[in-house]
């Protein structure tokens, strides 16, 4: 065996003597191994519930303070009088409300303006433009000849 092989063999034996310094099963299964930073982190349920509890306690304290302390100089409102319930007839619940003194449809004129009436609008006719032939004739040239040449 060459010296190089002997060195490799010696390094192999040394390598296989290495032991893990501890009990991996106990460390990992008891959750003591979150040291790398990118591994799975335990969810922080306690933080969530502590925050919820704190916010609830603060809200309750504020509510109690506002309830107990009344502003000075503001008289207490008079107690409301009870109003007896009066059942109404079915016709009182019509869909179209009827306003007193007002009509839903205006009177004294047509809703749609009649033809020829004062309110009828007429569109003016479109202005006429000379055709290209007329324009060329008035300029003294034949458009067909000029296009062929």
Binding of another protein by 43 (CB under 8 A): no
- Scanning 29-37, 67-75, 83-91, 134-142 for contacts with another protein by CB under 8 A, the matching segment is 29-37
Binding of another protein by 41 (CB under 8 A): no
Binding of another protein by 3 (CB under 8 A): yes
- Scanning 27-35, 46-54, 74-82, 102-110 for contacts with another protein by CB under 8 A, the matching segment is 27-35
- Scanning 33-41, 49-57, 73-81, 119-127 for contacts with another protein by CB under 8 A, the matching segment is 33-41
SS3 track for the chain: CCHHHHHHHHHHHHHHCCCCCCCHHHHHHCCCCCCCCCCCCCCCHHHHHHHHHHHHHHHHHHHHHHHHCCCCCCCCCCCCCCCCCCCCCHHHHCCCCCCCCCCCCCCCCCCCCCCCCCCCCCCCCCCCCCCHHHHHHHHCCCHHHHHHC
Give the up-direction half-sphere exposure of residue 62: CA atoms within 13 A in the CB hemisphere: 6
Binding of another protein by 13 (CB under 8 A): yes
CB of 67 to another protein, least distance (A): 52
Binding of another protein by 40 (CB under 8 A): yes
Residues that bind another protein (CB under 8 A): 3-4, 7-8, 10-29, 33, 35-36, 38-40
């Amino acid at each position: 065996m060459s010296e190089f092989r002997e060195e490799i063999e010696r390094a192999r034996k040394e390598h296989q003597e290495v032991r893990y310094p501890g009990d991996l099963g106990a460390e990992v299964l008891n959750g003591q191994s979150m040291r790398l930073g990118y591994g799975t982190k335990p969810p922080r349920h306690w933080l969530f519930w502590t925050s919820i509890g704190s916010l609830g306690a603060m809200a309750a304290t504020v509510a109690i303070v506002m309830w107990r302390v009344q502003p000075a100089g503001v008289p207490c409102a008079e107690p409301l009088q009870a109003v007896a319930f009066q059942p109404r007839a079915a016709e009182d619940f019509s869909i179209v409300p009827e306003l007193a003194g007002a009509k839903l449809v205006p009177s004294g004129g047509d809703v749609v303006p009649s033809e020829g009436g004062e309110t009828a609008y007429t569109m003016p006719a479109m202005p006429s433009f000379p055709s290209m032939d007329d324009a060329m004739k008035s300029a003294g040239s034949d458009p067909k000849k000029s296009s062929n040449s």
